[in-house]
Amino acid sequence: MGSRLFILLVSLAAACSAVGFASPAQSDGATAARASDIRQIDLAGLKKLLQRDAKDTRPLLVNFWATWCDPCREEFPDLVKVDDDYRSKGLHFVSVSLDDVTDIKSAVPKFLKEMKATMPVVLLNVPDPEPAIRTVDATWDGQLPATFLYDKEGKVVFRHFGRVKPDELRAAIDKAVGSKQ
């Protein structure tokens, strides 16, 4: 419950007018995510992100994190490596920052550049995190980091709260990528 309160306080501090979902720019893999590539999404944008397009048979990996979260920062190099290793194998990975909206042009892109991250990144900007948490997964209490792997139908096939174990994540991705055919 303490993590929900913390997320609520951070989200309230970040609450501005709701911004519609814009698809994050796809990186070519050669450059780190830039501030201009980071889009704000609201609850409707999060729902759209998690919806599965029937034509898109790729598994979807979503990681919720923030620059102020030490375990998030510690696991991020592993996630960058996962993105690098699995993008060509059909994994769609979106990183969702829960940083303050004012950090979208400063702390977030600086961190992503340091990490050499190239996956699409969005910043979730909601006044109340509870509906977003419930939208993502009913078993999630808002703890960060949080990692979810969805199959092509949008079913959660892997979830992890806290710093993810790379071998466990890779095993789940291997299974999801292998079954996407």
What domains can be seen in the chain, in order of their start residue?
2-22+30-178 (3.40.30.10)
Rounded CA separation 99/104 (Å) = 8
Q: Is the pLDDT of residue 4 over 60?
A: no
Q: Which pLDDT score is estimated for 30?
A: 38
Q: Which pLDDT score is estimated for 20?
A: 32
Find the helix packing angle between 166-178 and 70-86, rounded to 10°: 30
Residue among 56, 64, 43 at smallest CA distance from 132: 43
Most confident of 14-23, 107-116, 147-156: 107-116
Please give the average per-residue pLDDT across 132-151, as a whole number.
Answer: 94
Give the residue, 118 or 19, on which the prediction is more confident: 118
What is the share, in percent, of the chain residues with pLDDT greater than 90?
A: 68
- Of 21-25, 34-38, 135-139, 150-154, the poorest mean pLDDT is in 21-25
Query: In 46-71, which positions are buried (b, 16+ CB within 10 angstroms) versus exposed (e)?
Result: beebbebeeeeebbbbbbbbbbebee
Name the pTM for this structure.
0.79
Q: Which pLDDT score is estimated for 154?
A: 85
